[in-house]
Amino acid sequence: MEYKDILYSLENGLAVVTLNRPSKMNALTSQMRAEITHAMRRAASEARAVVLTGSGDAFCSGQDLSDASGTGDLDLERTLRDEYSPMLEAIYNCPVPTMSVVNGPVAGAGANMALAADVVIAKESAYFLQAFAKIGLMPDAGGTWFLPRQMGLAKAMGAALFADKISAKQASDWGMIWEAIPDEEFDAHWRARAKYLAEGPTKAFGAIKTAIRHSNGNSLPEQLSEEAHLQGQCGKSRDFLEGVTAFLEKRPAKFEGR
């Protein structure tokens, strides 16, 4: 696929997917959703970690309400089922670590797309906005699934009903995202985080994602059994051998590529 509304780069195992409609605050169109889905599936097969970010001063302002996919009408049910769901699942189910780098305001479906990543790092000047109720809608793009799990039922309900701006600092304090970083330190910080993920033990990272996500639906005995199974696989990997060897030799570990 030729990308028109996103940028894609791959270097040293790190794929960076950049939403690239800065004049529209990277608002999501049908074209962009197809491109993000393709890029995430591509990254899943060739990268060791993936960053999702935006160009310009915003991460993503949500659905472009002027985009009717050439039909003259925006069928929300069809759009969510046929376009948003594949995109969100491509992000959420990516086998390698994913990180949303929120470089500016993020709203609506864009905010929930960001939350689909494993880790979210935001500029302190950024904010999150569940804007749906302002135009007579409910949160979608996975918002009703991600928000209660990441910030608790009370905060999720308030965010959806009142549609207030949530600062990056609030989002971090509430457990909605991993961290909020001062603007002047942001670029260097997220790049260091991304480098760590791209150079890390890919098999162990995959096992971490699986175990933590399954914990919501598992009893303790089920979770202990899953931990044992996944840890057994990690223990047989070359990454584990390298990690132990590096520890004993007092040097940084060099984990294998894909």
Tens digits of per-residue pLDDT, 35-65?
999 999 999 999 999 999 999 999 999 999 8
120, 99 Cβ separation under 8 angstroms:
yes
Tens digits of per-residue pLDDT, 210-256?
999 999 899 999 999 999 999 999 999 999 999 999 999 999 999 98
Strands (DSSP E) contained in 148-202 are 165-167, 179-181
Query: In total, how many domains does the chain have?
Result: 2
d(CA 78, CA 168): 32
The tokens for 202 are 């890919």
- Assess if residue 256 is contained within a domain: no
d(CA 156, CA 78): 25
Give pLDDT, residue 70. 43
* Pair (163, 234) in one structural domain: no
d(CA 166, CA 106): 10
d(CA 255, CA 203): 10
d(CA 230, CA 228): 6
* Pair (106, 63) in one structural domain: yes
The better pLDDT of the pair 66, 158 is held by 158
* Pair (109, 133) in one structural domain: yes
- Assess if residue 175 is contained within a domain: yes
* Pair (151, 51) in one structural domain: yes
- Assess if residue 191 is contained within a domain: yes
- Assess if residue 113 is contained within a domain: yes
Other C-beta atoms closer than 10 Å to the C-beta of 24 total 18
Structural domain span for residue 236: 202-248
* Pair (13, 110) in one structural domain: yes
Residues in the chain: 258
Percent of the chain with pLDDT over 70: 97
d(CA 26, CA 6): 9
Strands (DSSP E) contained in the chain are 6-11, 14-19, 49-54, 98-102, 106-107, 119-123, 127-129, 165-167, 179-181
Tens digits of per-residue pLDDT, 104-141?
999 999 999 999 999 999 999 999 999 999 999 999 99
* Pair (174, 233) in one structural domain: no
Average pLDDT, the chain: 94
The pairing of beta strand 127-129 with beta strand 106-107: parallel
* Long-range CB contact pairs, 194-199, < 8 A, 24+: 194/14, 194/16, 194/49, 194/51, 194/99, 194/101, 195/12, 195/14, 197/14, 197/48, 197/49, 197/96, 197/97, 197/99, 198/12, 198/13, 198/14, 198/47, 198/48, 198/49, 199/12, 199/13, 199/48, 199/255
- Assess if residue 136 is contained within a domain: yes
d(CA 51, CA 255): 20
Q: What is the DSSP letter of 97?
A: -
Torsion on CA atoms 169, 173, 178, 180, rounded to nearest 10 = 20
* Pair (193, 237) in one structural domain: no
The tokens for 20 are 């690239």
